[in-house]
């Protein structure tokens, strides 16, 4: 909806173009849902035949693994660049970055706590993934899987990306062309990742069918438990954590703010993308009474560095996979995984499949034998995408109000009037608030809408 509402010329042509894009996304969404249901039915009705479908899921996971290194490298290099850019804005940028790091770390920790309380995936005891193990498969299947390139080690890639990012910072203006080239490389990598995600229905069908065929109805209950726990955790995080902060710091009721953003929530729910509502959030935060400089720095930076819903998802999904594979992570492994996700999750914004690649990267770096369980996440990932997107969006809206309050760049009286409905939002304010507010995100901007 960004282009549709951001332009005042030719309104008839633009909506038609956007609807076409939404149709493609919905086709993939529907295809994944159908594939998951079909895979579960095949697994229940024809368990032996379902087990032979495992290569479909394995092939999709290999494709995701192939992209882990490039995704991590590009996003971390550009992320460090955007941190430097935000920090140069001064007090607002520095405060925003500190807040984002604290909140995303807190969200990751909450995911670990909830995961350890409910033990999602426990009892499935799926076979651990061994990339060197030769299994008895059809020669044609073996040939096709062998075509997919091997993965690139994650931790060395992460270290190299951090070093390159800081080196580019030190180069100053000389490093700008290189950073721009990395941006183009990121666009290419994400375009390939989007193409791969169109195979998600095939991968989900094979993975779910083989898992249900091997474990029966218990797999379905385990996946449902994870989804339900994730939705409840996101809801509690929004109401209790974000709502509590908002009330204590700014004196604003979280439910009144959510009512004010109701139209954006509908847009996010229909697209599974918090990115789709970015221009409207900028305009609405300015209309609410937060100053343009604060909104212009906080919102775009938050879309890359304040992904609370994605953070909760990454840690809960990691524990689910570990439990499902019968190799639960000890406390030390969970802490190291938490530290990795704090860094790597900054590259999980903006593109379909990036969150899944980040999850696979974390598992590959800390417990490669768990990668086989990612196939189950592929099947239910889309069902959790709305909660991720809504939580990410709410977190950035709350952050904008909080930072505006801390730096005294918010009109409290206007906030009360707007939330009370005395000064309703006018769509024409989109034109005034859209352009300059997006400048801070110009270089690290994502290549396509995300559902994460």
**pLDDT tens column, 122-178:** 767 666 545 455 444 556 777 777 787 766 776 788 788 888 888 887 887 888 889
- Which neighbouring-strand residues pair with 410? 290
Cβ distance 251 to 410 under 8 Å?
A: no
Cβ distance 18 to 7 under 8 Å?
A: no
Cβ distance 282 to 437 under 8 Å?
A: yes
Residue ranges in the chain modelled with pLDDT below 70: 1-26, 81-90, 123, 125-139, 150-151, 154, 270-273, 276, 344-355, 379, 427-452
* pLDDT for the residue 15: 43
* pLDDT for the residue 240: 93
Q: What are phi and psi of 355, to 5 degrees?
A: -65, -40
* Lookup: tokens for 76: 């971390």
- From the list 195, 238, 212, 253, the residue with the least C-alpha distance to 60 is 195
* pLDDT for the residue 445: 40
Task: Mark residue 272 as left, alpha or beta (left: phi above 0; alpha: psi -120 to 50; beta: remaining).
Answer: left
Q: Which residue matches tokens 């956007």?
A: 18
- From the list 311, 316, 271, 315, the residue with the least C-alpha distance to 396 is 311
* Lookup: tokens for 170: 């030190």
Positive or negative torsion for Cα 155, 309, 237, 101: positive
Dihedral over alpha carbons 193, 199, 203, 204 (to 10 degrees): 100
CA-to-CA separations, 135 to 22, 37, 127, 196, in angstroms, rounded: 41, 27, 12, 25
Dihedral over alpha carbons 375, 379, 382, 387 (to 10 degrees): -80
* pLDDT for the residue 231: 92
Burial per residue of 229-240, b for 16 or more beta-carbon CB atoms within 10 angstroms, e otherwise: bbbebbeebbee
Residues whose CB is less than 8 angstroms from the CB of residue 435 and which lie 6 or more positions away in sequence, other chains included: none
- From the list 115, 83, 109, 154, the residue with the least C-alpha distance to 344 is 154
- From the list 59, 60, 21, 75, the residue with the least C-alpha distance to 445 is 75
Q: What is the pLDDT of residues 342-365, one digit of tens each?
A: 776 665 554 555 667 778 777 777
User: Alpha carbon 170 to chain centroid distance?
Assistant: 30
Residues whose CB is less than 8 angstroms from the CB of residue 236 and which lie 6 or more positions away in sequence, other chains included: none
Q: Which helix (H) or strand (E) holds 84?
A: helix 54-87
- Which neighbouring-strand residues pair with 290? 410
* pLDDT for the residue 74: 82
What is the distance between the alpha carbons of residues 158 and 47, in angstroms, rounded to a whole number?
40
* pLDDT for the residue 427: 62
pTM of the model: 0.70
* Lookup: tokens for 166: 């800081």
**Secondary structure (3-state) at 410:** strand
Q: What is the DSSP string of 270-305?
A: HHT-SGGGHHHHHHHHHHHTB-HHHHHHHHHHHHHH
């Amino acid at each position: 909806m960004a282009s549709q509402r951001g332009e005042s010329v030719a309104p008839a042509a633009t909506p038609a173009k956007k609807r076409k894009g939404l149709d493609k996304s919905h086709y993939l969404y529907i295809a994944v849902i159908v594939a998951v249901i079909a895979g579960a039915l095949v697994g229940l009705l024809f368990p032996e035949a379902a087990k032979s479908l495992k290569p479909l899921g394995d092939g999709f996971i290999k494709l995701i693994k192939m992209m882990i290194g490039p995704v991590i490298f590009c996003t971390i290099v550009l992320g460090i660049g955007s941190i430097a850019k935000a920090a140069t804005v001064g007090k607002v940028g520095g405060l925003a970055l500190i807040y984002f790091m604290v909140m995303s770390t807190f969200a990751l920790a909450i995911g670990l706590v909830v995961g350890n309380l409910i033990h999602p995936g426990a009892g499935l005891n799926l076979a651990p993934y061994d990339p060197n193990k030769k299994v008895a498969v059809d020669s044609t299947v073996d040939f096709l899987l062998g075509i997919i390139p091997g993965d690139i080690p994650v931790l060395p890639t992460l270290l190299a990306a951090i070093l390159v990012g800081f080196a580019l910072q030190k180069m100053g203006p000389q490093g700008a062309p290189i950073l721009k080239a990395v941006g183009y490389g990121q666009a290419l990598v994400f375009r390939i990742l989007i193409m791969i995600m169109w195979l998600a229905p095939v991968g989900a069908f094979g993975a779910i069918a083989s898992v249900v065929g091997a474990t029966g109805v218990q797999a379905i209950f385990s996946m449902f438990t994870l989804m339900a726990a994730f939705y409840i955790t996101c809801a509690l995080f929004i109401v209790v954590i974000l709502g509590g902060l908002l009330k204590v710091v700014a004196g604003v009721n979280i439910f009144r703010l959510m009512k004010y953003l109701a139209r954006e929530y509908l847009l996010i729910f229909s697209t599974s993308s918090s990115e789709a509502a970015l221009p409207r959030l900028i305009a609405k935060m300015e209309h609410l009474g937060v100053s343009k400089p604060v909104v212009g720095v906080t919102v775009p930076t938050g879309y890359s560095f304040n992904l609370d819903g994605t953070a909760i998802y990454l840690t809960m999904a990691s524990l689910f996979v570990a439990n499902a594979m019968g190799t639960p992570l000890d406390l030390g492994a969970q802490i190291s995984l938490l530290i990795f996700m704090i860094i790597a999750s900054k590259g999980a914004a903006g593109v379909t499949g990036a969150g899944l690649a980040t999850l696979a990267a974390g598992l590959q770096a800390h417990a490669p034998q768990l990668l086989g369980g990612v196939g189950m996440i592929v099947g239910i990932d889309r069902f959790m995408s709305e909660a991720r997107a809504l939580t990410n969006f709410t977190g950035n809206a709350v952050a904008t109000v909080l930072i505006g309050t801390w730096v005294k760049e918010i009109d409290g009286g206007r906030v009360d009037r707007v939330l009370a409905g005395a000064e309703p939002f006018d769509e024409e304010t989109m034109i005034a608030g859209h352009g300059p507010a997006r400048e801070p995100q110009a270089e690290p901007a994502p290549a396509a809408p995300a559902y994460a």
